[in-house]
């Protein structure tokens, strides 16, 4: 068994959709990034790559490559999930935390977990999504950014 951890943070901006866990969340701001800037999926990707000892998201999907401009992070997650299998591992579970002041994510956590599980062909109970605020502290607390942490176990 191997464990991987992941973290990501993106700035919130106007005129971008907010996508978390592959789910479009109604909100007046979205996350800035080269792809769809899904901080939750990016943290999971980094955790999976860390678990198999294969670098990070920036190494595999650099923002300097036009092919990744605007790409769905779920497409990248699928590629990484396939890589995990190619290396002889199976994903046992994924535990995550999204940190955001707004919007309230409680109504979307199940859909996010289902979407991630479906993308990686995992049982739904293998993916856990938690959401917390930053208690008004820092860029996340001021509503300028969102962040996510992920821990994965592969066997």
Residue 75 · residue 107 · CB < 8 Å: no
Mean pLDDT of the chain: 96
Please tell me the predicted confidence (pLDDT) of residue 123: 97
Q: What is the mean pLDDT of residues 15-31?
A: 97
Q: Residue 4 pLDDT more than 90? A: yes
Least Cα distance to 138 among 100, 89, 83 occurs for 100
Over residues 25-57, the pLDDT tens digits come to 999 999 999 999 999 999 999 999 999 999 999
Return the domain boundaries, the chain: 2-154
Place of tokens 């909100």: 27
Residue 83 · residue 130 · CB < 8 Å: no
Q: What is the mean pLDDT of residues 2-30?
A: 97
Q: Residue 72 pLDDT more than 90? A: yes
Residue 54 · residue 61 · CB < 8 Å: no
Reading the block at residue 95, the tokens are 């535990």
Please tell me the predicted confidence (pLDDT) of residue 63: 87
User: Right CATH number for 2-154 from 3.40.50.2000, 3.30.530.80, 3.30.1330.50, 2.40.30.10?
Assistant: 3.30.1330.50
Rounded CA-CA distance 69/40 in Å is 18
Q: What is the mean pLDDT of residues 70-85?
A: 96
Please tell me the predicted confidence (pLDDT) of residue 31: 97
Over residues 97-133, the pLDDT tens digits come to 999 999 999 999 999 999 999 999 999 999 999 999 9
Q: What is the mean pLDDT of residues 7-22?
A: 97
Report how far apart, in Å, the C-alpha atoms of 29 and of each of 13, 63, 95, 109 are: 5, 21, 26, 19
pTM equals 0.96
Task: Give the whole-number percent of the chain exceeding pLDDT 90.
Answer: 94
């Amino acid at each position: 068994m191997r464990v991987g951890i992941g973290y990501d943070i993106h700035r919130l901006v106007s005129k971008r959709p907010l996508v978390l866990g592959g789910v479009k969340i109604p909100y007046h701001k979205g996350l800035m990034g080269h792809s769809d800037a899904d901080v939750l999926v990016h943290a999971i990707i980094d955790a999976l790559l860390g678990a198999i000892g294969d670098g990070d998201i920036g190494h595999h999907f650099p923002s300097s490559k036009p092919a990744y401009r605007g790409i769905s992070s779920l497409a990248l997650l699928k590629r990484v999930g396939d890589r995990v299998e190619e290396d002889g591992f199976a994903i046992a579970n994924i535990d995550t935390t999204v940190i955001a002041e707004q919007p309230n994510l409680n109504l979307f956590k199940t859909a996010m977990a289902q979407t991630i599980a479906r993308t990686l062909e995992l049982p739904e109970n293998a993916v856990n999504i938690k959401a917390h605020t930053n208690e008004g502290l820092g860029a996340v607390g001021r509503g300028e950014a969102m962040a996510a942490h992920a821990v994965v176990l592969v066997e």
